[in-house]
Amino acid sequence: MAPLRQYLLLAASLPFALADGQYRSRPDLAPPKLNITVPAPGANGTEYVFLAPYGGSIQQAGAYIYRKDGDLVWSGIGYYNGFVGNFHLTTYHNETVLQGFQGTIDTSHGEGFGQHVILNQNYEHVVSAKTGNHRIPSIHEFNVINGKTALVEIYLPTVANLSAYGGNASQKWIGNGLFQEFDIETGDLIFEWNSLDHVDPADSLVPLNSSTTESGLTATTTWDYIHLNSVDKDREGNYLLSSRHFSTIFKINGTDGSIIWQLGGHHSTFTYNFTFGFQHHARWHYQSPTTEIISFFDNSGNGEITFNNVSRALIVQLDHVANTATILRKATAPYNIQAASQGNAQLLPNEHIFVNWGSAGAISEFDANNQVIYHAFLENSVSYRGFLGNWTGTPYEVPAITAYVEGSGAVRLYVSWNGDTETKGWRFYGTGVGNGTRYLGAVERRSFETELVWSGQGVTSAGGRFYAEAVGVEGRVLARTHSVQATEYIAVD
């Protein structure tokens, strides 16, 4: 992840929490919108989009779940705090859960300091993961292994002699890249790798003094020479590591930390007839003694250096007999998108590929033939990573309802339940003085918010109140709102 000052500085100047009136029942929510240019088949199914938009002119950056048609499922405002990134599904203790980074972001380097927080399907806090050795994890990675341990990358400002890399006596700060594996529940450290012990900073494609933020003069202008952004682990206990600023993917020995092989950069183990660079999100998919298959998001440029004019997701086969690397699949960005930073590529069980185009602020889904079957641009924002996944959300919070009386005497009722995926419809009720409870009608749930207009009599007098029930499959009542009185309805343009 690299700095996006044009987004972040704008975001910093915005009020903390505004709302734009998208929802009458939840006027405090203002989710960024998706501009869908290629509608998805089955857009209202149970496969949802997980994003953490930020920057630009959006009012509420944070974690979000959307349907593919752009309809909001869940706003994470109030659940995750600060800068939020790398929001997606994972498995912890055999349960499907949500995980996301929350903390601060170093706008100069695209690094961060914070913690990774897991929520259950009720959106309740499960654990805030803590790394070992007093390290503070950065934004980029939180990869849960076997439902128990986690891989994170760490950005550590370090004092060092930089004269070998062209530094003078005043330039003493290097941004060291580390990664750890640790037990999520206990915080016990399992493995730590320190890049300065194994690679030469001279091989960086982002040299010292390449910009004022890479000067090494202070702890906030460290030379971010390696910029680690993803870690994976195989069954043998070795690690797959992506370095953006080396444009290299490494296989790391899980015992002594030595480099087993490297793809890309100045010292590639493999020969290949394609180019890539500044990549993100390397993942293993197959391994044998002679062959490995990995996927990664190829940015192909960083805004200054260009390898290819268009970013893409790649699935690459590594042949350890011939020491060659070959592209097996290539999902090329539509609209000639090149993401100068951020991004990821998710290989789905049906062989589709879901791609988040990072700093380009867009997402795409490709079918098994690498054809775009879904595409959307994020409204005035970007997301570091983005994912698809099936999710069952059963919120612990009570559904929200509001009621308005129009000049004609009709009542408009609005109801929603942030994070709910199981409600099929809503039943509405009214109570009036001396009239008991009256059933007002039912409406099929089609969106985040559901509306009923009631033109009957007997519940709008003083003391009249309204409530609704969330109804699931086979008419089962899932939850009930509080009861509210109606207020004057004012139209919103």
CATH superfamily ID and name for 5-390: TolB, C-terminal domain (2.120.10.30)
Write down the domain spans for the chain.
5-390, 400-488
What CATH code is assigned to 400-488?
2.60.40.10
Percent of the chain surpassing pLDDT 70: 94
**In this structure, are residues 52 and 381 in contact, taking their beta carbons and an 8 Å threshold?**
no
Q: What is the pLDDT of residues 270-317, one digit of tens each?
A: 999 999 999 999 999 999 999 999 999 999 999 999 999 999 999 999
The CA dihedral of 158, 163, 168, 170, to the nearest 10 degrees, is 20
Quote the tokens at residue 209. 């003094």
Residue 383 has pLDDT above 70, yes or no: yes
Residue 237 has pLDDT above 80, yes or no: yes
Q: For residues 480 and 465, what is the distance between their CA atoms, to the nearest angstrom?
A: 14
Q: What is the pLDDT of residues 151-191, one digit of tens each?
A: 999 999 999 999 999 999 999 999 999 999 999 999 999 99
Residue 424 has pLDDT above 50, yes or no: yes
pLDDT value for 309: 96
pLDDT value for 490: 78
pLDDT value for 433: 54
Contacts 24+ apart (CB under 8 A), 326-333: 326/272, 327/274, 328/293, 329/353, 329/370, 330/370, 331/355, 331/364, 331/366, 331/370, 332/370, 333/357, 333/360, 333/362, 333/364
Report, as an integer, the average pLDDT of 337-355.
97
Q: What is the pLDDT of residues 244-272, one digit of tens each?
A: 999 999 999 999 999 999 999 999 999 99
> What is the residue-averaged pLDDT of the chain?
93
Residue 2 has pLDDT above 70, yes or no: no
DSSP state of 475: G
Residue 17 has pLDDT above 60, yes or no: no
The residue among 417 and 486 whose pLDDT is bigger is 417
pLDDT value for 121: 98
Quote the tokens at residue 77. 């405002």
Residue 190 CA: distances (Å) to CA of 150, 152, 175, 264, 314: 10, 12, 23, 28, 31
Percent of the chain surpassing pLDDT 90: 86
pLDDT value for 410: 87
Q: How many CA atoms are closer than 13 Å to the CA of 434, on its beta-carbon side?
A: 4
Q: How far apart are the first and last CA of the chain?
A: 38
Q: What is the pLDDT of residues 64-101, one digit of tens each?
A: 999 999 999 999 999 999 999 999 999 999 999 999 99
Q: How many residues does the chain have?
A: 493
